[in-house]
């Protein structure tokens, strides 16, 4: 996938909007909040792998959502794309017949944020396609109401996110990277991973003391190399096969392997992958039935 494609593209069929995946370059848990959510501190980066949403005039009143592509996505009102469109129409006080075709290329339950990215793309795409002209603060408010990571995908491509994930501090420095993304045939539940999480304040303080000075210097490469994800033990407790895969991969290549989000996707950061990449991909596929792909940082 080229790193030069645009997010919005006017086609003969309608407005095409690309929704990028993300990886967590670090993920710390600050503890459980009074509202029942876990507080997080995370550096998130978009990557150049996309779902696609096509906006066309609707054939009937209301929102018609069509899901297609190699990966599964929930239909109709079970999909955040539907609710993003519905809430934006309510905010704009104008209903338009709309047909949205979601081409799902990024698997769900992998910690790559594709459902959140789809919802953000729906907000931006419908706002542009229907000429609602709603300001950024309206989109931000709807995004925060819909889910924790959606606000990140309204900006980017790199940010420090805190709170439930809805507090966004853009990082303007360029962060160029290429990683090998591992895609195990395992679907994780973010809800279950958080329910299984047991907080360790000492670990949070230790990792925070390492990461915060690097964040202040915008040394993002150094943060990624720490490979800090406090959800890892919870995820691996539910899916021990993922821990076995990680250890095996680290033995095969001699490099660190990092979990993204609540899993199941993992990646190899900050490495010279030219020497190990293709051979490692073959081994992962043949010996562990694990797909993989090279991805770069996204430009927008």
Please state, in angstroms and rounded to a whole number, the distance separating the CA atoms of residues 71 and 91: 31
Burial class (CB in 10 A: 0-12, 13-18, 19+), 282: exposed
Is 22 marked active-site? yes
What pLDDT, in 10s, does the model give residues 158-173? 999 999 999 999 998 8
In CATH terms, the fold of domain 178-296 is Alpha-Beta Plaits (3.30.70)
Cβ neighbours of 288 (radius 10 Å): 18
Burial class (CB in 10 A: 0-12, 13-18, 19+), 57: exposed
| 214: Cα within 13 Å, side-chain hemisphere | 18
Domain boundaries, the chain: 8-170, 178-296
pLDDT averaged over every residue in the chain: 95
Q: What DSSP string describes 73-95? A: ---GGGSHHHHHHHHHHHHHT--
Residue 2 has pLDDT above 60, yes or no: no
Mean pLDDT of 11-40: 96
Residues 239, 194 contacting (CB under 8 angstroms): no
Smallest CA-to-CA distance from 234 within 264, 206, 268 is with: 264
Place 1 in a pLDDT band, splitting at 50, 70 and 90: low
Cβ neighbours of 48 (radius 10 Å): 21
Phi-psi domain of 31 (left: phi exceeds 0; alpha: psi -120 through 50; beta: other) = left
Is 167 marked active-site? no
Query: What are the beta bridge partners of residue 32?
Result: 38
What pLDDT, in 10s, does the model give residues 174-186? 889 999 999 999 9
What pLDDT, in 10s, does the model give residues 276-285? 777 899 999 9
What pLDDT, in 10s, does the model give residues 197-239? 999 999 999 999 999 999 999 999 999 999 999 999 999 999 9
Q: Determine the distance from the C-alpha atom of residue 173 to the mean position of all C-alpha atoms in its chain, rounded to a whole number.
A: 20
In CATH terms, the fold of domain 8-170 is Ribosomal Protein S5; domain 2 (3.30.230)
Residues 50, 21 contacting (CB under 8 angstroms): yes
Place 58 in a pLDDT band, splitting at 50, 70 and 90: very high
Query: Could you say which of 46, 51, 149, 256 is catalytic?
Result: 149
Q: Determine the distance from the C-alpha atom of residue 3 to the mean position of all C-alpha atoms in its chain, rounded to a whole number.
A: 17
Residues 6+ apart with CB under 8 A from 244: none
Same fold, 8-170 and 178-296: no
Secondary structure (3-state) at 155: coil
Which tokens in the block code for residue 146?
A: 């819909």
Residues 249, 94 contacting (CB under 8 angstroms): no
């Amino acid at each position: 996938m080229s790193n030069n494609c645009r997010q919005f593209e006017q086609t003969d069929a309608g407005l095409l909007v690309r929704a990028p995946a993300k990886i967590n370059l670090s993920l710390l848990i600050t503890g459980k909040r009074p509202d029942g959510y876990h507080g997080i501190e995370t550096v998130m980066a978009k990557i150049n792998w996309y779902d696609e949403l096509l906006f066309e005039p609707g054939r009937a009143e209301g929102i018609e959502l069509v899901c297609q592509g190699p990966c599964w996505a929930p239909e109709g009102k079970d999909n955040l794309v539907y609710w993003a469109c519905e809430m934006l129409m309510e905010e704009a006080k104008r209903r338009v017949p709309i047909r949205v075709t979601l081409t799902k290329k990024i698997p769900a339950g992998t910690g790559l944020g594709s459902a959140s990215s789809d919802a953000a793309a729906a907000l931006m795409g419908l706002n542009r396609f229907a000429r609602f002209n709603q300001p950024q603060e309206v989109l931000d408010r709807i995004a925060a109401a819909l889910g924790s990571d959606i606000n990140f995908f309204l900006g980017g491509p790199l940010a420090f996110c805190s709170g439930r994930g809805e507090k966004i501090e853009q990082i303007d420095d360029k962060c160029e990277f290429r990683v090998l993304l591992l895609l195990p045939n395992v679907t994780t539940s973010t809800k279950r991973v958080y329910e299984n999480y047991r907080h360790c304040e000492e670990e949070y303080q230790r990792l925070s003391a390492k990461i915060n000075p690097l964040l202040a210097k915008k040394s993002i490469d150094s943060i990624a190399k720490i490979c800090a994800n406090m959800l890892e033990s919870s995820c691996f407790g539910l899916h021990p096969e993922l821990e076995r895969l990680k250890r095996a991969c680290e033995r095969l290549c001699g490099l660190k392997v990092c979990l993204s989000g609540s899993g199941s996707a993992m990646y190899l950061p900050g490495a010279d992958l030219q020497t190990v990449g293709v051979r490692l991909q073959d081994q992962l596929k043949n010996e562990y039935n694990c797909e993989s792909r090279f991805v770069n940082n996204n430009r927008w």
